[in-house]
Structure 1
Amino acid sequence: MTPQAVVDFLVEHDIHKIKYAFADIDGVLRGKVISRQKFIDGLTDGFGFCDVVWGWDMTDAPYDNAGITGWHSGYPDAPVRLDVATFRQIPWEDDIPFFLADFSRPDGTSLPACPRSLLKRVAEQCRQMGYHARMAQEFEWFNFRETPQSLHDKGFRNPEPLTPGMFGYSILRPSLESAFHNDLFDFLTRFDIPLEGLHTETGPGVYEAAIHHDEVVGAADKAALFKTAVKEIAYRHGLVASFMAKWNADLPGCSGHIHQSLWNADQTRNLFYADTSQGAHKHMSELMQQFIAGQLHCLPHITPMFAPTINSYKRLVEGAWAPTTVTWSVDNRTTALRVLNHKEAYCRVEHRVSGADTNPYLALAAALASGLYGIRHGLSLDIPASIGNGYADKQHGVIPGNLADATRQMAESAVAVELFGAEFVDHFTRTRDWEARQYARQVSDWELKRYFEII
């Protein structure tokens, strides 16, 4: 819709309030409800929004190391602009109009910290190279019979799962919770986040959803909105949905796998597919091989964009359905990259490092930029496909094992700077360093139980 068409729609339907939001560095949606006149006034020049949203963490604690804003700058306003192409209505909130925003400017520049603006720049690089990137993210998450207040009251200990037991791909469990299950599928579809599938995963109260693929920025928009939409729909049913990567050491973690392919400019041909029979590279075009080579090469340099929290690395352990090595394979769920290429229409690379706790804009930007790096540098896929257990295939490297190490590696990486620019890398790694330091100061229940009496 054009800006004028949106205004006409608001007037015609006598709508006087609009909601908008943008994703911060952690992928948390921040936003406001504004009046119709305020919306109209800001369509051309945007709105001022306090830039503290780039100077604090997910708990609103100001960073002590941020350069982009802080006490030293006085936290001024920064210009946020609505993207009218993202217009949709929220069906569980009386169809209130909703728009996504970012901190890009009319001259094409943007605030270096803005994740959506970063992805837009990477997508433009892809288009300049002659490719159309299509992606989709799928999520696993746990649902609990709790409220935000009950979780705080019990110190987040022993939350009650939606359903008991390990029951992946169950037909019974969704039937037991049919009102919630149906609201998820139906409301998300009406919110322009159509699902390919929705089912239970293995674990008490855990679901998995695959979102229909889209152009890369649209795919990230849908993924970012999906997480918040699921939480809001869950609230309506007296539930809390959690996208933590690993909430319980005894249960599988929650993935946010990224499915990705490159097409020609008019989207008539999947450029990853080739009608060949070359052993392990069967049906893999040279372009696809370069894309995979780039992702493998860059992965250790940009791991925090796929694993951004302390908790992310509790999921990335051997035997937990998440990768730990720099590996690829054909239809093998133990490697970092999984190739699915039996048909041209569905030929793609699944990036399995990304967890449910990712910021979709950063995860998709990292996936696409690293793949384009391989194409731009003409990298050969010299790493052989892993056969069998990818956890044991460590000869080509392993994924950093914690956030502090991963952040240090990215902060010192010339590859990361080439992919995303020095300003973004500096800001992002400062935020991850802050996150790691907050954890290092804490005394955990595990430490109390292990050391309090006996040491």
Structure 2
Amino acid sequence: MTSAQIKEYIDQHPSGKVKLAAADIDGILRGKYISTEKFNALSTGAMGFCDVVFGWDMGDLAYENSQFTGWHTGYPDMPLKLDFSTFRKVPWEDNVPFFLGDFYDAEDNPSSVCPRQLLRKVIGHCEELGFKPFFSQEFEWFNFEETADSFAQKGYRDPKPLTPGMFGYSILRSTLKNEFISDLFRLLKQFDIPLEGLHTETGPGVYEAAITYSEALEAADRAVLFKTAVKEIAYKHGIMATFMAKWNENLPGCSGHVHQSLWDAEGKRNLFFEGEGTHKISSLMQQYIAGQLHCLPHVLPMYAPTVNSYKRLVEGAWAPTTLTWGVDNRTVALRVLSGGAKSTRLETRVVGSDTNPYLAMAACLASGLYGIKHGLELGQPATVGNGYRDHSNGTLPVNLHEATQQMKQSDVAKELFGEAFVDHFCRTREWEWQQFAKVVTDWELRRYFEII
């Protein structure tokens, strides 16, 4: 739709409102409804939005270590500009008009802490090199027969899974709750989030969806909107969906694998494919892989951003723990899929379902481009067999604190994303670790209360 057609649709919509949102540092959509009149008054597409969305954590607790904003700044507004290319109609809300936006600073420059702006910046660097990045993300998530109220009343313990048993790729289980699955497929497509596939994964009430690939910014928009859309559609069915990386120590974790390829500037030729090359991958793709392997320890919090993320990254749990790559090998960090001229791509398997898609994709792309810019050679051989046992090139940091300190001190991370972003992001991850460190857990009570 053209801008004129969009405005006409909004003017004629009976709700008299527009829904808008933008992602915070955790990838949580923060938004509001505005009236049609308010929308029409935004002649430049910009509006004031309190910068507290970058001054508090996912529980709305104000950071005490933030330099970007806080009590010391008075939490002023920052400009949010709506991106008309993101226009959608929300089908489960009577097709109310919807937009995503980008944050800017007071001088009308892209905000250094805005995740969507960071990805835009990295894509811009990619295009300057003559490449067009195509990405997609796939998600695993658990579903429960709970509401926000019922789960709170249980003390956030023992949620009832949507279905019992493991049942990966089960036709039976997808039939058992078919109304929900059918609604997901249908409504997400209507919301311009087309899926390539949707199936049950191994675990009680767990699904996996692969979002159709697209240009990188659109892919990230789709991924961010997918997570919120799934939760909202689930609400309609009396279901709670969670994208926690590991909600139960005895069950598999949830991934958010990112698939990526670089094409020529016209988007006509996949530059990762080389029919005569080793494993049918080009030297460009080898440099891209080498860049990700080199940068991965420097940017891990962008792939694994929470304390819980690292409960997923354990040996033998379908999530990588080593700095490895391989061809169609699900035990390594970077999985090469070299099926043909159109489908050859890299799958970064470190990424969990709890990530901010803008940051995860920015990290993937920037790291790969680092390898290309610096002419890194993929001297490390492809891992064949069990990647968990291949420690020859190192292992991943084991918790959020360790990973954050490595990123905070990394010149590589600052080269990729700029000092302002790295400083703010690492402060938020340090805060996350501090909140966890002071909590007395159920495990500690069980282990120490009586015996010690």
Taking structure 2 as the reference length, the TM-score comes to: 0.98
Note the alpha carbon deviations across 1:349-402, whole angstroms, 9 max, x for none.
000000000000000000000000000111000111111000111111111100
Please state whether the residue corresponding to 1:259 is helix, strand or coil. strand
The alpha-carbon deviation at position 45 of structure 1 amounts to 5.1
**2:403 match:** 406
**2:51 match:** 51
For 1:408-427, what aligned pairs fall within 5 Å after superposition?
408-427=405-424
**2:376 match:** 379
The alpha-carbon deviation at position 104 of structure 1 amounts to 3.6
Contact 1:3-1:43 at 8 Å conserved across structures: no
- What is the CA–CA distance in structure 2 between the aligned matches of 1:174 and 1:385, rounded to whole Å? 36
**2:34 match:** 34
Note the alpha carbon deviations across 1:185-231, whole angstroms, 9 max, x for none.
00000000000000000000000000000100000000000000000
Contact 1:66-1:427 at 8 Å conserved across structures: yes
**1:172 match:** 172
- What is the CA–CA distance in structure 1 between the aligned matches of 2:247 and 2:400, rounded to whole Å? 17
The alpha-carbon deviation at position 178 of structure 1 amounts to 1.0
**1:101 match:** 101
- What is the CA–CA distance in structure 1 between the aligned matches of 2:11 and 2:45, rounded to whole Å? 21
Contact 1:43-1:81 at 8 Å conserved across structures: no
The alpha-carbon deviation at position 109 of structure 1 amounts to 2.2
For 1:103-252, what aligned pairs fall within 5 Å after superposition?
103-104=103-104, 109-252=109-252
One-letter amino acid of the counterpart of residue 411, structure 2: A
- What is the CA–CA distance in structure 1 between the aligned matches of 2:43 and 2:281, rounded to whole Å? 45
Contact 1:139-1:255 at 8 Å conserved across structures: yes
Report the CA distance shift for 1:345/1:235 in structure 2 as closer, same or farther (over 3 A).
Answer: same
- What is the CA–CA distance in structure 2 between the aligned matches of 1:88 and 1:104, rounded to whole Å? 22
Please state whether the residue corresponding to 2:133 is helix, strand or coil. strand
- What is the CA–CA distance in structure 2 between the aligned matches of 1:416 and 1:345, rounded to whole Å? 31
- What is the CA–CA distance in structure 2 between the aligned matches of 1:288 and 1:105, rounded to whole Å? 36
Aligned counterpart in structure 2 of residue 331 of structure 1, from 325, 328, 333: 328
Note the alpha carbon deviations across 1:262-283, whole angstroms, 9 max, x for none.
0001111100000115xxx321
**1:313 match:** 310
Please state whether the residue corresponding to 1:20 is helix, strand or coil. strand
Contact 1:324-1:336 at 8 Å conserved across structures: yes
Structure 1 range deviating more: 225-234 or 40-49: 40-49
**1:435 match:** 432
- Tell me the matched-pair count: 452
Contact 1:112-1:423 at 8 Å conserved across structures: yes
**1:292 match:** 289
Note the alpha carbon deviations across 1:118-177, whole angstroms, 9 max, x for none.
000111111111000000000000000000011111111110000000100000111111
- What is the CA–CA distance in structure 1 between the aligned matches of 2:148 and 2:284, rounded to whole Å? 47
- What is the CA–CA distance in structure 2 between the aligned matches of 1:97 and 1:9, rounded to whole Å? 8
Contact 2:79-2:106 at 8 Å conserved across structures: no
What is the root-mean-square deviation in Å for CA atoms of aligned residues?
Answer: 1.2
Please state whether the residue corresponding to 1:346 is helix, strand or coil. coil
Please state whether the residue corresponding to 1:288 is helix, strand or coil. helix
Contact 2:257-2:347 at 8 Å conserved across structures: yes
One-letter amino acid of the counterpart of residue 383, structure 1: Q
Contact 2:13-2:96 at 8 Å conserved across structures: no
- What is the CA–CA distance in structure 2 between the aligned matches of 1:392 and 1:41, rounded to whole Å? 60
1:394 aligns with 2:400: no
- What is the CA–CA distance in structure 2 between the aligned matches of 1:308 and 1:288, rounded to whole Å? 26
Percent identity between the two aligned chains:
62
1:448 aligns with 2:451: no
One-letter amino acid of the counterpart of residue 271, structure 2: L
Please state whether the residue corresponding to 2:89 is helix, strand or coil. strand
- What is the CA–CA distance in structure 1 between the aligned matches of 2:368 and 2:431, rounded to whole Å? 29
- What is the CA–CA distance in structure 1 between the aligned matches of 2:43 and 2:105, rounded to whole Å? 12
Contact 1:293-1:371 at 8 Å conserved across structures: yes
- What is the CA–CA distance in structure 2 between the aligned matches of 1:14 and 1:445, rounded to whole Å? 50
- What is the CA–CA distance in structure 2 between the aligned matches of 1:45 and 1:343, rounded to whole Å? 42
Report the CA distance shift for 1:43/1:307 in structure 2 as closer, same or farther (over 3 A).
Answer: farther
Q: Unaligned 5+ residue runs, structure 1?
A: none
Contact 1:116-1:361 at 8 Å conserved across structures: yes
Structure 1 range deviating more: 389-398 or 97-106: 97-106
Contact 1:81-1:105 at 8 Å conserved across structures: no
Structure 1 range deviating more: 183-192 or 104-113: 104-113
- What is the CA–CA distance in structure 1 between the aligned matches of 2:266 and 2:110, rounded to whole Å? 28
Please state whether the residue corresponding to 1:350 is helix, strand or coil. strand
One-letter amino acid of the counterpart of residue 81, structure 1: K
Structure 1 range deviating more: 110-119 or 13-22: 13-22
Note the alpha carbon deviations across 1:52-95, whole angstroms, 9 max, x for none.
11000000000010000000000000000100100010000100
Please state whether the residue corresponding to 2:369 is helix, strand or coil. helix
One-letter amino acid of the counterpart of residue 359, structure 1: N
The alpha-carbon deviation at position 105 of structure 1 amounts to 6.6
The alpha-carbon deviation at position 14 of structure 1 amounts to 5.0
Contact 1:2-1:85 at 8 Å conserved across structures: no
1:60 aligns with 2:60: yes
Report the CA distance shift for 1:443/1:12 in structure 2 as closer, same or farther (over 3 A).
Answer: closer
The alpha-carbon deviation at position 299 of structure 1 amounts to 0.1
**1:349 match:** 346
The alpha-carbon deviation at position 342 of structure 1 amounts to 2.2
- What is the CA–CA distance in structure 1 between the aligned matches of 2:279 and 2:332, rounded to whole Å? 18
The alpha-carbon deviation at position 43 of structure 1 amounts to 4.2
Report the CA distance shift for 1:135/1:388 in structure 2 as closer, same or farther (over 3 A).
Answer: same
- What is the CA–CA distance in structure 1 between the aligned matches of 2:399 and 2:88, rounded to whole Å? 38
Please state whether the residue corresponding to 2:44 is helix, strand or coil. helix
One-letter amino acid of the counterpart of residue 443, structure 2: W
**1:71 match:** 71
- What is the CA–CA distance in structure 1 between the aligned matches of 2:431 and 2:202, rounded to whole Å? 34
**1:4 match:** 4
Please state whether the residue corresponding to 1:124 is helix, strand or coil. helix
